[in-house]
A and B are shown apart, each in its own frame.
Chain A
Amino acid sequence: MKKLILSCWLVLASTTHGFATPLSASKTADMRIALDDLSLALADNGYQLIKVQTIDQALVKRGYADPGIRLAFIGKEAHIQQALASNPALLNLLPLRLTLETDGQHVRISSDDLTSWRERFPETNGVVQGWEDELAAILADYANQ
């Protein structure tokens, strides 16, 4: 609870007039702890961590500034069957992606904007809403650890 009061927030926002606001959660952590906590949250929600893309290290290694960003690709086998049954265009969203962004003290994790997909492909609403609900649960678990 203390952690919550001190450092956590969770935003579950919806699109307004097409300007998207993805799901996100933030707390005091460094990247290593954030990834550990995210891994636990994924496991607790039946997700696999497919790949961590260290954008920060890749850019720094080549002499660019550190953007403080890593990507986590996550998923469940069931998502593929759901996409195929709903609209195969959804395959382009899989595996799902989370962006981890640090300011040195906090790590904010946010999803891609899935709302625009629901809006553009109304027949996918149930499937994509289900994925958003799962992502919201994962981000809540991350924030509360």
Chain B
Amino acid sequence: MHTLFKSLLVFVLAMSAFTARAGEPELLIQFVPGSHIEAVTEKLKAAINTHNFTFVRQQAIDSRMVPPDWEAASIRIVYFCNFDKMDNALRQDKRAAQLMPCRITLIEDSRGVNLIAVNPAWVSEQWNAPESHEKCLNLKHDYVAILEETAL
């Protein structure tokens, strides 16, 4: 993928989050300058553990859609979870499955790596379920903490 195009991609993502209507932003975005996707993935995994989540798996965005040698090296998904939170959330509202497992997308360009997550509180805003929304706000804070620690 062209460097210029990837920079444009990240810019569009950032603007999408910035221009969100009132309420929660759709996306949580953290930039790690001057790093490569492999190194940031390792830092992300460490931050996931630090915050009592369990790393589940990582894959290219097009994994199993193209032959392994053709997979995009610059866009990666990292999945993780916390089983207590998962159990608790599903007991309350089965729609919580839409947020499982937790996911952060990493996009590498010439300047560094962007980490992007769908904001769980934006998703739950649409459920009209205050108790679930409260849990999703807590989950959002977990995401933010993990993203920020990865960027340190």
Contact = CB atoms under 8 A, between A and B. Distances in A.
Contacts of B123: 113, 116
Interface in A80-133: 80, 84, 87-89, 91-92, 94-95, 97, 99, 101, 112-113, 116-117, 120-121
Contacts of A35: none
Contact of B65 (A64, A75, A87): A75
A87 B12 contact: yes
Given A76-B65, A80-B62, A99 B16 contact: no
Contact of A88 (B9, B59, B62, B117): B9
B98 A92 contact: no
A110 B118 CA distance: 19
Binding site secondary structure of chain A: mixed
A88 B13 contact: yes
A58 interface: yes
B87 A89 contact: no
B27 A92 contact: yes
Given A18-B126, A76-B65, A88 B98 contact: no
B32 to A, nearest CB: 18
Chain B interface category by residue count: 35 or more
A82 B130 CA distance: 34
B146 interface: no
B98 to A, nearest CB: 5
A121 B27 CA distance: 12
A62 B97 contact: no
Nearest to B117: A92
A114 to B, nearest CB: 11
Nearest to B8: A88
A55 B97 contact: yes
Contacts of A64: 83, 87
B126 A89 contact: no
Interface stretch (A2-10, A45-53, A136-144): A45-53
Contacts of B12: 87-89
B151 interface: no
Q: Which 8 pairs between the two chains have the least Cβ-Cβ distance?
A: A67-B90, A64-B87, A88-B9, A77-B65, A99-B97, A20-B126, A50-B64, A89-B16
Interface of B: 9-10, 12-13, 16, 20-21, 26-27, 59, 61-66, 72, 75, 83, 86-87, 90-91, 94, 97-98, 100-101, 103, 105, 107, 116-118, 123, 125-128
24 contacts: A15-B126, A18-B125, A19-B127, A50-B63, A50-B64, A51-B59, A55-B90, A67-B91, A69-B90, A69-B94, A77-B62, A77-B65, A80-B62, A88-B9, A88-B12, A89-B16, A89-B26, A92-B105, A94-B61, A99-B97, A99-B98, A116-B123, A120-B20, A120-B21
